[in-house]
Amino acid sequence: MSDIQVGFAGIAILLFLIVLRFPIGPALIGVSFGGIWMLVGERAAWGALGVIPWSFAATWQLSSVPMFLLMGFLCFHAGLTKGLFDAARVWLARLPGGLAVASIFGAAGFAAVTGSSVACAAAMGKIAVPEMMRQRYQAGFATGTVAAAGTIGALIPPSILMILYGIIAQVPVSSLFLGGVGAGLLTVFGYVAVVVLRAVLDPKVAAPVDTTTTWGERFAALAETWPVLLLMFGVFGGLFAGIFTPTEAGAVGSALAIIIALVKRTLSWRGVRESLIETLVNSAALFIIAIGASMLTRFLAYSGAGDAIADFVSGLGTSHGVLLLGIALIYLVLGMFLEPIGAMLLTLPILLPIIGEAGFDLIWFGVLLAKFLEIGMITPPIGLNVFVIKGVVGDLASTSTIFRGVMWFLVADLFIVLALVLMPQIILWLPSLAQ
C-alpha cells in the first residue's frame, strides 16, 4: 500500500473501533502507533510513543485543565453553587415554567466555575429536578430542561473544550473565553424562551408554583450567591485585567474556592479527597485522549492523508455555508457516539487545515465548534448529558422521556447556531474589545 492508503486505512480502522465502543484514547494511540510503524519503521514508532506523550503533557498551558476541573469539583462538594438555584427559584418561580427557567440560570452560574458540561448537568440535576418534580412539573419537561442547560457548561468560561482548542489551534484562550460569553448568553436566553413558550402553550407541563415570597426573602436568597460571584470576580476579573494568565487562572480559582469554602465551613476532608480523586481521574482521561490525538496528527502527517483530505475539500470549491454544514453534520453524528473532547481531538488534525484554507476566523470557529459539540451531548441515541440526568434522577424519568424533553431545545439550538453563523459579531465583539 502507498503511504496515503495506509493513512486512510488507519482512519477506517479507528472509526471501526469507535463504532465497537472501544475506548477512544487507546484506539487513537494504538492505530497511530501501528500506522507510524508501517510507514517509517519500528524504531520511529517507539520513538513517537516515547516523545509525543511527554512533549504534549509537558505543555505549560495544559496545567490549567486540572486546575479548572479542581475548582469546579471543590465548588460542588463544598455546596458553593447551591445558592445560585435557590436565588433564581425565589426570583423567577412565578414566571411560566419558572423553576425550569431558574435551573437554566443556575446552570449558567455553575458553568462559570466549571468547564464541564457533564459536571454542570449532574450538579443541576441533583438540585433542580427533585424540586421541579415536587411542584408537579412533567418529568420530560423537567429533566429535558436540565440536560439541555448542562450544555452551557462548555460555552461560558472557563471551558475545558476551549482551553484544549486554543492550545491545538494556537489561538489565545482568553479570546476564546470572551467569545464564549456571547454564545453562552444567547443559548441561555434561547433556552429560556423555549421554556416560557412551552409553559404558556401547554400549562400542564409546568404547574404554577403557589408560593409567595417577600422582598426580604428575595434579597436574602440573592445574598447567598456571594461565593460564586466572588469566585467569578476573582478569577475572571484578574484574568482579563492582566493580573494573571489563563494558565494561572485555574490555580487561582482553586485556591480561592478553598478559601471561600473554609470561610463558609462547608468543605470537609472527605469533600477535598473526592474533589482531588475526581480531578485526577478526569484529567488522566482527557490527557490520554489528547496524547492519542497528537499521535494521530503525526501519523496523518507521515502518511499525507490529512493533506489529501484538505486538498480534496479545497478543490471542491464549496461555499463557506456548505463547508460549515458539512462540519456541523460531522460533529452532530460524532456527538451521538463520542464525548465532546474525544470528538474534537479526533477531528481537529484533519479539519484545522481546511478551516485555515477557507479563511474562517479561528476564534469564531472555536466557539462555534464548542456549540456543535455540546449539541451532540443531547442528541439521540447516546447524548451523554441525557444519560447523566438519567443516572441522577433514577426511576423518576425514563431515558426516552428525557430525550423527548430535549427535542424542543435541539430545535432552539438550530436557530442559535444560525444566528452565530449569520452574525459572527455575537462571538467576536467582546474579543475585539480586548485587543
Q: How many helices (H) and strands (E) does the chain have?
A: 22, 0
How far apart CA 384 and CA 335 sit, in angstroms, is 9
Q: Tens digits of per-residue pLDDT, 11-32?
A: 888 878 877 878 878 888 898 8
Residue 263 lies in a domain: yes
How far apart CA 301 and CA 48 sit, in angstroms, is 13
How far apart CA 174 and CA 184 sit, in angstroms, is 15
Q: What's the structural domain count of the chain? A: 1
How far apart CA 427 and CA 177 sit, in angstroms, is 10
Q: Which residues are CB-contacts of 189 (< 8 A; sequence separation ≥ 6)?
A: none
Q: Is the pTM of this model over 0.85?
A: no
Tell me, rounded to whole angstroms, the distance of Cα 123 from its chain centroid.
Answer: 14
DSSP 208: P
Alpha helices in 336-398 (DSSP H): 340-358, 362-376, 384-393
CA of 316: how far to CAs of 65, 323, 354, 358, 401, in Å?
38, 10, 12, 12, 42
Residue 378 lies in a domain: yes
> Mean pLDDT across the stretch 102-109?
85
Nearest to 31 by CA among 46, 44, 12: 12
Sign of CA dihedral 86, 88, 94, 96: negative
Nearest to 209 by CA among 52, 102, 63, 71: 102
DSSP 264-279: HT---HHHHHHHHHHH
Residue 383 lies in a domain: yes
- Residue 169, pLDDT > 70, answer yes
Q: Tens digits of per-residue pLDDT, 33-46?
A: 999 899 888 888 89
3-state helix, strand, coil in the chain (%, to 5): 80, 0, 20
Q: Which residues are CB-contacts of 35 (< 8 A; sequence separation ≥ 6)?
A: 6, 7, 10, 299, 302, 303
Residue 364 lies in a domain: yes
Contact present, 227 and 264 (Cβ < 8 Å): yes
DSSP 318: -
Q: DSSP E strands: which ranges in 36-175?
A: none
Nine-digit cell string for 195: 421554556
Amino acid of residue 351: L
Helix, strand, or coil (residue 414):
helix
Q: Tens digits of per-residue pLDDT, 268-279?
A: 888 889 888 988
pLDDT in the model for residue 314: 60
- Residue 380, pLDDT > 80, answer no
Residue 279 lies in a domain: no
> Mean pLDDT across the stretch 87-106?
80
Contact present, 344 and 369 (Cβ < 8 Å): yes
Residue 88 lies in a domain: yes
Sign of CA dihedral 345, 346, 347, 350: positive
Nearest to 99 by CA among 8, 21, 205: 205
- Residue 76, pLDDT > 60, answer yes
How far apart CA 184 and CA 207 sit, in angstroms, is 28
Residue 220 lies in a domain: yes
Look up the domain containing 163 and give its range: 59-267+304-434
Residue 124 lies in a domain: yes
Q: Which H helix or E strand runs over 314?
A: helix 305-316
How far apart CA 192 and CA 206 sit, in angstroms, is 14
Largest CA distance in the chain: 76
> Mean pLDDT across the stretch 367-382?
85
Q: Tens digits of per-residue pLDDT, 225-251?
A: 778 778 878 887 887 777 877 778 878
Cell 469507535 belongs to 18
User: What are the backbone dihedrals phi and psi of residue 319, each rounded to the nearest 5 degrees, phi first?
Assistant: -70, 165
Cell 482521561 belongs to 285
* Per-residue confidence band for 180, with pLDDT thresholds at 50, 70 and 90: very high
Cα angle, residue 234 at apex, residues 248 and 89 outer, rounded to 5°: 125
pLDDT in the model for residue 406: 92
